[in-house]
Amino acid sequence: MSRCNISRLAIIGGGQMGSGIAQVAASVGQQVTIIDLDSGVLKNSEKYISTSLARVMKKKIPDEAERSSKLASIMANISTSTDLGQAAECHLVVEAVVENLDIKKKIFADLDAIAGKDTIFASNTSSLPITEIANATQRPDRFGGLHFFNPVPLMKLVEVVKTAETSPETYTKIENWAKSLGKTTVECMDTPGFLVNRLLVPYLLEAVRLHERGHGTKEDIDVAMKLGAGYPMGPFQLLDYVGLDTCKFIMDGWTEIDPNNPLFQPSPMLNKLVEDGKLGKKAGIGFYDYRKLAK
């Protein structure tokens, strides 16, 4: 376990990602405050974390009394609030809200006026430029990216992103913090998609283009990549799992940044599916129809 001086943190956003980050931090003894404007979201977050922890504990701790005690001790590390001011005394603030640049910039501008001068800010964005978000604050040297993967308790990787302004001290602190959660870290520059999504999303879109050109059915392309490349899911299965709207959002953002990059060109087929509300598994239908399987 890496040395880490961060023991008190705030998570902005009580959705699935924010809840997952809070769970792993609380599990190693850190004091976590989850902040969200919606009290209903916060209640769901606590329920989600408690259920997730109970599932983990059931596998690791046979004794029911010991299991219950351990669960209670971890949950005691978590508090919730609708007040952004609760982040004021934290060592680290990690934002995990909707992928909207203006919303993120507004949150960090407000936080910048509240938090102590030594508080480090980080965004969990998977696709937006960290530099642009950091520029909403007066502390770009104490700002970085911490991109976790879903589901956070199970996925081992964290992309630690540094901008041209991120100080070496800040980078070392957030990297060590991520490692203190038991995660493996990789260093990333502030480029579109960082490492994983920069490779993954163009691969997914190229699979769609192959299908659009009539060079392979979605079923055959999925089988080919699973059996030929050893991937656990084919590209169309993964697109449906991630969400077609999410993938379109990422690619649209990259196209705006670099419109001449052939890897960032939009897909008419993907755009039409999103327009029709066929967003993947969460909608019951995407490239595949999951409504039949649910019957």
Marked catalytic residue, from 123, 180, 197, 267: 197
Marked catalytic residue, from 52, 95, 147, 175: 147
Residue type present at position 87: A
Q: How crowded is residue 262: how many other Cβ atoms within 10 Å of its Cβ? A: 8
> Which three-class secondary structure state does DSSP give residue 92?
strand
Does the annotation mark 175 as catalytic? no
Task: Please tell me the distance from the alpha carbon of residue 29 to that of residue 104, in angstroms, as a whole number.
Answer: 28
Does the annotation mark 126 as catalytic? yes
Q: How crowded is residue 231: how many other Cβ atoms within 10 Å of its Cβ? A: 15
Does the annotation mark 44 as catalytic? no
Annotate 115-166 with DSSP letters as a single string.
S-TT-EEEE--SSS-HHHHHTTSS-GGGEEEEEE-SSTTT--EEEEEE-SS-
Marked catalytic residue, from 19, 123, 124, 126: 126
Marked catalytic residue, from 52, 159, 211, 267: 159
- What are the phi and psi torsion angles at 160 (to 5°)? -100, 115
Strand-pair category, 120-123 with 92-95: parallel
- What are the phi and psi torsion angles at 242 (to 5°)? -70, -40
Does the annotation mark 127 as catalytic? no
Q: Is 31 exposed, middle or buried, given 0-12, 13-18 or 19+ CB atoms closer than 10 A? A: middle
> Which three-class secondary structure state does DSSP give residue 285?
strand
Q: Is 146 exposed, middle or buried, given 0-12, 13-18 or 19+ CB atoms closer than 10 A? A: buried
Catalytic residues: 126, 147, 159, 197
